[in-house]
Structure 1
Amino acid sequence: MTEFILEGETPVRVSLRRSAQARRLSLRVSRLDGRVTLTMPRHVPEREAVAFVREKEVWVRRQLDRQVAVRRPAFGVTIPVLGAPLEIIQGAGRGARMEAGCLVVPGGEDMLMARITAYLKLQARTRLRQASDSYAAALGVSFGKITLRDTRSRWGSCTSDGNLMYSWRLVMAPEAVLDYVAAHEVAHLLEMNHSPAYWAHVARVCPQYRQHRDWLRVYGQELHAWDFSH
């Protein structure tokens, strides 16, 4: 058995995953996609694992009730860009643009997703490049290339050879939050860890980093809830 169903008015699919490193049963409900996973030691019988989940059913359903509903961009829908709510409206031209508190998107519904995604990625690259350059200068370091991805597990990363990766969805967060993630990753060019020395570098260039980090912990799932698939 690799999964089972918690029966009820709303059935819940639970994935079972054995791990050689696991020392106890561990139940997790993803805040990104609502996936329920039970990690279990190799020696634990499946019937014991299923019984454990059933005991935690109230908790599981409570976590699922807190999930943010998936949203899709459409004309008339409001979408955040650098933390500002912009209504998506139809207009003339070739590419999407911000204008008078709106996100103007040329063409019809068939081109909407592609044009909004292109706009957000361009804005993300521009803003993250500016922020990375600024923090690198402040900390006296240099970095290699910047890559944008649609990552679910992290907002950014720094490789040992000095390259930076960011989630382009950060462009929907408040500008100060985007800047914090850039400061976070650039500081790793000095310390490839999360030691007190590392956080001192972050605090030097981003004194309110705790506030911005907490914003991502609380509201980050709302950025992932936007569905840009065509």
Structure 2
Amino acid sequence: MAYRNGQRLPLDERDGSGPTLRLSVNPRARRLSVRIDARAGEAVVIAPSERALLQAVAFARTKAVWIAKRLAVQPRGRPLEPGQVISLRGHRVQLEATPGAGAARLVEDGTVIRSGGEGEAYARRVENLLKREARQTLEERTEHHLRTLGQKPVKVSIADTKSRWGSCSPHNRTIRYSWRVIMAPPPVIDYLAAHEVAHLVHADHSPAYWSVVERLIGDPKPYRKWLRDHGGALHAVGR
């Protein structure tokens, strides 16, 4: 059986049940490996070539118990509500309610988000504030990296994606970011902006592409690891 890059298939091949495996080819990989994508709720099987995917899938299926346990302990969703503590640019922020239906705002030196409304209306106001903060920061960091590379302006949009932190379309010069990255520390946010801007130079993830990323922010591995380790918690906020 031949597998292809990006293909998804069930971990249990007998009845198609259980977690999903997503196949990924990385020419820079030196060995077969499996990692957990907490955002998408699936295991990613990594091989250096498509030819090696067959062996990689077999390897992943020997790790079925480990994969199931890791996916079972992913963070649970929690609505945005008064009393909750969330993160904003890597710092703890307390959510508080205020009488009336006023928009959410940052107060007390940015350590508190105070908003009017109740239930879903309250959550929507807080989420809108986080989206505004995300747009402001990501547009700023995007512009910074564009200037460094001598690139023309792009259109930036903010979304709530489940499987990607960002995406770049070089042909129409648009970059889309997940607003949830605003909860991450600033170096991680900056890495995401650099990651997407670098795709304007190289649309793939080749060594040449990663050299552009490194030119912009240095070694990206710590920031990629942070997103792998903590991304699930960010995606659980407000769900």
Q: Look up the equivalent residue of 2:39 and give its one-letter code.
A: L
Q: Which residue of 1 aligns with 2:208?
A: 197
- Aligned 1:22-101 pairs, distance under 5 A: 31-32=38-39, 34=41, 58-91=65-98, 94-100=102-108, 101=111
SS of the residue corresponding to residue 194 of structure 2 reads helix
Distance of 1:205 and 1:195 partners within structure 2: 16
Supply the distance in 1 between the matched residues of 2:36 and 2:138 (Cα, whole angstroms): 30
Could you tell me which runs of 5 or more consecutive residues in structure 1 were left unpaired when the two chains were aligned: 4-12, 18-26, 37-52
In 2: Cα distance, 1:196 partner to 1:82 partner: 30
Q: State the partner residue of 1:223.
A: 234
Measure how far apart 1:106 and its partner are. 2.0
Is residue 2:176 matched to residue 1:165? yes
TM-score (normalizing by structure 1): 0.73
Map 1:71-220 → 2, pairs under 5 A:
71-91=78-98, 94-100=102-108, 101-161=111-171, 162-220=173-231
Aligned residues: percent identity? 34
Task: Provide Cα deviations, 1:149-171, integer angstroms capped at 9, x if missing partner.
Answer: 11112111111322111111111
What's the Cα RMSD here? Answer: 3.0
Aligned pair count reads: 196
Q: Kindly provide the amino acid, as one letter, of the partner of residue 176 in structure 2.
A: M
- Preserved contact between residue 75 and residue 89 of structure 1 (Cα < 8 Å): yes
Residue in 2 that maps onto 1:20: none
What SS does structure 1 have at the residue aligned with 2:193? Answer: helix
CA distance in 2, matches of 1:110, 1:63: 31
Larger radius of gyration: 1
- Give the TM-score normalised by structure 2: 0.71
Equivalent position amino acid for 1:71 in 2: R
In the superposition, relative to structure 1, how do residues 62 and 32 fare at CA in structure 2: closer, same or farther (>3 Å)?
Answer: same
Post-superposition offset of 1:60: 4.9
The amino acid that maps onto 2:187 is: A
Runs of 4+ in 1 over 6 A off after TM superposition: none
Structure 2: give runs of 5+ residues left out of the alignment. 1-9, 11-16, 22-33, 44-60
Amino acid across the alignment from 1:151: T
